[in-house]
Amino acid sequence: MPYAPSDDEERAREAALALLTRSIKFGHRRLAVIRLAKAVEAKAAVTKEQWKYCERVAAESPDIAVRRLLISSANRIQVGAQSSALPVNQLPNMEPTEKWGTD
């Protein structure tokens, strides 16, 4: 939420990461990608392992919506990194248009 107090924002980030971690632990595929997107939206610190799991899921998924959601999350991270001057090497290693296409 744009006007939420900072402690609420932190709790939202923690909750998003906890749900993502749980989805990965239980082998949820589509739900993990959805939860990754929510974690990115909350500006949570998603780990490389979580990104890799979701990248693999998207690459293997016949569901274009899953692929697009992951690409959208990666784009959101990149835009945020550019605007906050974070090093590019902290971004997930993705080349969505080459790996999965956008059709």
Provide the pLDDT for residue 65.
Answer: 96
Mean pLDDT (the chain) is: 82
Q: Give 68-88 pLDDT, tens digit per residue.
A: 999 999 999 887 665 443 344
* pTM of the predicted model as reported, rounded to 2 decimal places: 0.73
Q: Angle at CA 96, nearest 5°, toward 14 and 52?
A: 45
Judged against a pLDDT cut of 90, whether residue 1 lies above it is answered with no
**pLDDT for residue 98:** 40
Give the other-Cβ count within 10 Å of 94's Cβ: 20
**Residue 63: CB partners within 8 Å, gap ≥ 6?**
30
Q: pLDDT digits over 41-74, tens only?
A: 999 999 999 999 999 999 999 999 999 999 999 9
pLDDT of residue 27: 98
pLDDT at 103 over 70: no
pLDDT class for 5, splitting at 50, 70, 90? low
